[in-house]
């Protein structure tokens, strides 16, 4: 809604539609002012130039535009027809009127949109489920039989197996859960600061306390580093959840509470390992051994999913002063 104080005023609509944010005033006489106002902040879809840019050149779908504008998709589809724009499926018309590059951009955006949608659907609905859970017993058995038949008498080269293995490592693995640096949750928390002031600090401390001696093989080496028996990512997410429930979630609070947790439990959750032993423990072959160790320690995180007292809001300033100083290169840790 735009309110003008000029009196009298006239509003005229252009023949070819509205133009965004255009304001033109022309003083005809002292007694009369003609004002042309074409402001459509709330109805930009009426402007053919705007609609063409969003729908054709950027490649947004009617569904995407309806979500952005907060209106029904059928209304936007009607305006597409009013402006005389081709559908995204009308390849020949788009190429003829706007060029091949424009059509290829629409296709790329569509593929990216569908792949993201399918990935989110699989993570929410199918992750961790068997074929039987997803398709039922009969359909699952049919799928398994087809897979078995297609792999029968097929020999894979070592190169093929190695490439297949690489595609399943790290974030490419179908069981990837996001990791510490995943931006999907608690995105406003500065993870680099958490790593620097918590993870790196306690990694150095455990190595110094164990006198650079590997707890697995007994070798004394300067390359020793700390290994979390209880996943650092799980600790991070549990503490973020705890703080979020109390409306005091920020980077400073996370760092303070994680220092508190490590100070109380570091002897249980940490191991000092040399580089070869550390690599070995993270091999896929040792996955179940790691999970078994972690499950024995998961009880340490239970308080963060309950309602412990005193509230962290009262302790926040105290731990901030003890464990973190802005601009400081080191953090003093005092253990009893």
Write out the DSSP string of 239-298.
HHHHHHHTT--SHHHHHHHHHHHHHHHHHHHEEEE-HHHHHHHTSGGGHHHHHHHHHHHG
Quickly list H helices, the chain.
48-52, 62-69, 73-83, 91-98, 100-121, 131-135, 137-151, 158-167, 191-194, 200-209, 232-245, 251-269, 275-281, 287-297, 312-323
pLDDT of residue 25: 41
CA pair distance 304, 237, nearest whole angstrom? 10
Closest of 243, 259, 245 to residue 312, by C-alpha:
243
Digit-by-digit pLDDT tens for the chain (336 residues) are 333 433 333 334 443 344 433 434 443 443 333 333 444 446 888 889 999 999 999 999 888 888 888 888 888 899 999 999 999 988 889 998 999 999 989 988 887 776 665 665 565 556 566 788 778 889 989 999 998 888 888 888 888 888 877 777 766 666 665 566 665 677 788 888 888 888 888 888 899 989 999 999 999 988 898 999 988 888 888 888 888 888 888 999 999 999 999 999 988 999 999 999 999 988 878 888 888 888 888 888 888 876 544 334 344 444 344 434 444 444 444 444
What is the Cα–Cα distance from 124 to 130, expressed in whole angstroms? Answer: 14
Question: So what's the pLDDT on residue 328?
Answer: 41
Q: What is the 3-state secondary structure (H, E, C) of 219-242?
A: CECCCCEEEECCCHHHHHHHHHHH
What does the block give as tokens for 36? 């042309």
Phi then psi dihedrals of residue 24, to 5 deg: -130, 125
Cis peptide before 8 (omega within 30 of 0): yes
Containing 34, the helix (H) or strand (E) segment is strand 33-38
Backbone angles phi, psi at 107, to 5 degrees: -65, -45
d(CA 230, CA 294): 5
Looking at residue 21, its pLDDT comes to 39
Distance of alpha carbon 215 from alpha carbon 312, whole angstroms: 35
Say what the pLDDT of residue 52 is: 92
* DSSP SS3 for 2: coil
Contact partners, residue 51, CB within 8 Å, separation at least 6: 44, 45, 79, 80, 83, 85
Rg from Cα positions in the chain: 30
Secondary structure of residue 33 in the 3-state scheme: strand
| pLDDT value of position 128 | 60
What is the reported pLDDT for 152? 84
Chain position carrying tokens 């990694």: 203
């Amino acid at each position: 809604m735009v309110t003008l104080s000029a009196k009298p005023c006239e509003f005229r609509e252009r023949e070819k539609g509205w133009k965004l944010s255009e304001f033109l005033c022309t003083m005809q006489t002292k007694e009369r002012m003609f004002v042309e106002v074409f402001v459509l902040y709330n109805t930009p879809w009426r402007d053919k130039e705007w609609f063409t840019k969003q729908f054709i050149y950027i490649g947004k779908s009617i569904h995407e535009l309806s979500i952005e504008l907060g209106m029904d998709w059928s209304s936007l589809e009607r305006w597409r027809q009013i402006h005389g724009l081709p559908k995204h499926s009308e390849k020949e018309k788009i190429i003829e009127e706007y060029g091949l590059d424009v059509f290829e951009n629409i296709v790329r955006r569509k593929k990216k949109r569908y792949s993201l949608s399918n990935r989110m659907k699989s993570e929410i609905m199918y992750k961790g489920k068997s074929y039987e859970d997803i398709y039922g017993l009969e359909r699952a058995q049919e799928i398994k039989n087809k897979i078995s038949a297609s792999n029968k008498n097929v020999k894979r080269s070592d190169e093929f197996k190695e490439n297949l293995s690489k595609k399943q490592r790290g974030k490419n693995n179908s069981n990837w859960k996001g990791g510490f640096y995943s931006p999907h949750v608690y995105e406003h928390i500065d993870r680099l600061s958490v790593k620097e002031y918590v993870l790196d600090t306690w990694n150095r401390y455990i190595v110094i306390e164990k006198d650079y001696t590997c707890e697995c093989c007994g070798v004394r080496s300067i390359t020793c580093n700390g290994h979390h028996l209880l996943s650092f990512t799980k600790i991070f997410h549990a503490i973020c959840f705890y703080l979020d429930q109390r409306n005091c979630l920020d980077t400073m609070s996370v760092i303070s509470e994680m220092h508190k947790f490590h100070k109380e439990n570091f002897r249980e959750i940490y191991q000092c390992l040399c580089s070869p032993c550390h690599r070995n423990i993270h091999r896929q072959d040792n996955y179940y051994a790691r999970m078994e160790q972690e499950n024995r320690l998961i009880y340490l995180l239970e308080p963060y999913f309950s309602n412990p007292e005193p509230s962290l809001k009262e302790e926040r300033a105290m731990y901030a002063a003890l464990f973190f100083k802005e601009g400081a290169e080191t953090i003093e840790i005092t253990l009893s």
